[in-house]
Amino acid sequence: MSAADQKSRLEALRKDVNFHNYRYHVLDDPVISDAEYDKLLNEIKAIEAEHPDWITPDSPTQRAGAAPSERFRKVDHPAPILSLSNAFDPDDFRAWAERVTRLDERVASADFVVEPKLDGLTVVMTYEDGLFTLGATRGNGEVGEDVTPNLRTIEALPLRVPLLPDAPQPPRRLVVRGEVFINKSDFEAFQAEQAETEGKVYQTARNTAAGTLRNLDPAVSASRPLTLFVYNIVLAEGGQVPGTQWETLEYLRDLGFPVADEPRLCKSVDEVIEEYGRWMEIRQEVPYEVDGLVVKINDIQLANDLGFVGKDPRGAVAFKFPAQEVTTTLEDIRVNVGRTGVLTPYAVLEPVEVGGVIVKQATLHNFDFIEEKDIRVGDRVLIKRAGDVIPYVIGPVLGAREKKLRKYKPPAKCPVCDQPVEHIEGEVAWYCVNAACPEQLVRNVEHFVSRATLDIGGLGIKIVEQLIDEGMVADVADLYALDRDKLLELEGFKEKKVDNLLSAIETSKSKSLADLIYALGIRGVGEVVGSALAANYRDLDELAGAKTDDLTEIEGIGPNIAEAIVDWFVRPGNQAILKKLKQAGMWPVAEPRAPLGEQPLDGLTFVVTGTLPTFSRNDAKDFIQRHGGKMTGSVSAKTDYLVAGENAGSKLDKAQELGVTILDEDRLRALVE
Ligand code: IVH
């Protein structure tokens, strides 16, 4: 390539990388994979290494991260929040070790601390006299964004250190650095819930964490499963802190900070590489996403003496795992129908191995995603399999599209029942709105009987399908009209099985109104909204009469959910269900509320932990809400009471720590008498 060509290539690359930086850091919505991004950035680095005089201050190699958004107060970091250079394989890693040894021969006999590199977001937290006073994002490394209220909602974050009495006293001012992330299983559950309700579907746990942390409403953070690990001390004033990274981790743990498991102290480069091999084996098993290791020279003074290259300290390196991304051919796009009728597209792939597993299908999130990325059947597509999460399509490899492929069109009819599908203004999802759609019916009954709702045991998916096939169940209310003799005629149904099933159905009649509302499977109405509705309406008749304006008055219910509720109750099929439920005696009535303004638990916030003698978790919540109180999931300085039962765990410790009043079930009941 001529010098002129190389220079214009460099300019094009910079433009690209700056664009992708913005997508990733500011919009939290990347359009290429991390591996592709690294490739572009490495190409820039290579050209710049050859022509150092071409480096400009706006080159993406010259900054550590994103421009802070205008929406948050800016905070100056007390010291630069640096980034790390990468090693992509053992040879790269050895090259790093040799480079730093050449600079300072003390490295030859140095120890290394090897920590998992968590795939999350850097946060910087300040503690003054032990009290958490400020939390910021990294921003551009010099200036970050004040996200203190959002960080406060993270249970793992200690609001005061030390947490335990005989721990060391921290320096007067202590600034620590950590990573906010979401555990793999929590992310999976979150994705499932978002897909069922109208929530935004994020591509990765990392994007979800980023979007959440930079949301202006801390209630959003509180409702999402963010967690945290802390790994560095940025600054300590007015007190001593350890001189090695190994002791720092121990010290942070002693103070009460969450620290990642399985750091290792390695005595040599070979030992580090061995540890890298070990992590490649176990990385799928740890509950959080790890995209590599961070190797740090243990002696902090020595590491600092080595200085920096650009914004990367020489004394540490990110030793990345190979990407769990591959390309394969998209053979077909098919569509699933969910419980609430949401149509979800998925990819049928030419089978391909990713990280030791053969992948044949991957989620495509929603139809907008297919449109935005212009994914077409026949394309080569990049897929990612991260941890235990369902593999997903990142996008098409446009360069590999050879012939003209047809643009994908979402189906106009439900693939199961062939009825027209509908799109709701402002939402991404398409719905099959046919209440009699057999696929929805199976999912609906499954949800209606599940442990989280009415807990009708003995009704597994096979039996549900059997009852529907036999024509005995055409909606959820039919469960209450099942005939013992007819059941006995079914294949595989013996007396005992039938009696158990009927008695489980009978028992469900004593469930609460909140449980029943949740069980009906109204779009957007989960456990939380179900309880809120039950706290405001006496029974389903009263709720059926509610107008959208009444509903949006209730905390946690926006116009979309309100409309979905009203819409559900006006449908004749659903009215028939209600009539049958009432006739069958499946008609819970909420206990009358105290007159407004006089509720005994008004303004009080409760957390419930452990097993209570008679209340289930839901009963306790109903009880508290009915009397004007609020129940939240985690103990904080704002908690008024912790209701503790048997086997109470860390919430009890935290409540004691914070001086929160602790009640048992009897004393909770006594509060309202
Ligand atoms: S140390 C100068 N330790 O990885 C200190 N970083 O690629 C640099 N990260 O920006 C950070 N786990 O967001 C460090 N145990 C760990 C980490 C870690 C994840 C992230 C961090 C950093 C990025 C560097």
Percentage of the chain exceeding pLDDT 90: 47
Q: Is 266 in the pocket of ligand 1 (CB under 6 A)?
A: no
Question: CA neighbours within 13 Å on the CB side: how many for 356?
Answer: 9
Contacts of 416 (CB under 8 A, 6+ apart): 337, 432, 437, 438, 439, 440
- Band (284; pLDDT cuts 50, 70, 90): confident
Ligand 1 mutation target, pool 63, 84, 138, most atoms within 8 A of CB:
84
Q: Which residue has the tokens 């939240």?
A: 632
What is the 476 CA–ligand 1 centroid distance (Å)? 51
Higher pLDDT, 523 or 379: 379
Q: Which residue has the tokens 């490495």?
A: 42
What is the 18 CA–ligand 1 centroid distance (Å)? 21
Decide if pLDDT at 388 tops 60: no
Residue 304 confidence (pLDDT)? 95
Residue 66 confidence (pLDDT)? 41
What CA–CA distance (Å, rounded) separates 337 from 438?
A: 10
Task: Give the tens place of pLDDT for each residue, 390-415.
Answer: 788 988 988 788 778 999 999 999 99
Q: Is 179 in the pocket of ligand 1 (CB under 6 A)?
A: yes
Average pLDDT over residues 254-264: 91
The helix-helix angle for 34-50 and 3-21 (nearest 10°) equals 140
93-107, 189-203, 204-218: which range is least confident on average?
A: 189-203
Alpha helices by DSSP H, 197-299: 205-213, 218-222, 245-255, 269-282
b/e per residue, 102-134, with b = 16+ CB within 10 A?
Answer: eebeebeebbbbbbbbbbbbbbbbbbbebebeb
Residue 65 confidence (pLDDT)? 40
> Across all residues in the chain, what is the average pLDDT?
87
Ligand 1 mutation target, pool 138, 176, 179, most atoms within 8 A of CB:
179
- CA-only gyration radius of the chain, Å: 28
- Band (440; pLDDT cuts 50, 70, 90): confident
Residue 302 confidence (pLDDT)? 97
Tell me the whole-structure pTM to 2 decimals: 0.54
What CA–CA distance (Å, rounded) separates 112 from 609?
A: 41
Apex 381 CA angle, 376 and 386, nearest 5: 130
What CA–CA distance (Å, rounded) separates 526 from 196?
A: 9
Q: Is 122 in the pocket of ligand 1 (CB under 6 A)?
A: yes
Q: Which residues pair with 646 in a beta bridge?
A: 611
> Among residues 39, 117, 496, 630, which one is catalytic?
117
117 is catalytic: yes
Ligand 1 mutation target, pool 77, 253, 279, 294, most atoms within 8 A of CB:
294
Q: Which of 358, 347, 410, 411 is CA-nearest to residue 381?
A: 347
- Nearest residue CA, atom 24 of ligand 1? 84
Decide if pLDDT at 386 tops 70: no
What is the 31 CA–ligand 1 centroid distance (Å)? 23
- Nearest residue CA, atom 4 of ligand 1? 117
Q: Which residues pair with 341 in a beta bridge?
A: none
Alpha helices by DSSP H, 482-571: 484-489, 495-507, 513-519, 527-534, 540-544, 548-552, 559-570
Task: Give the tens place of pLDDT for each residue, 322-367.
Answer: 767 888 999 999 999 988 788 999 999 999 888 667 899 999 988 9
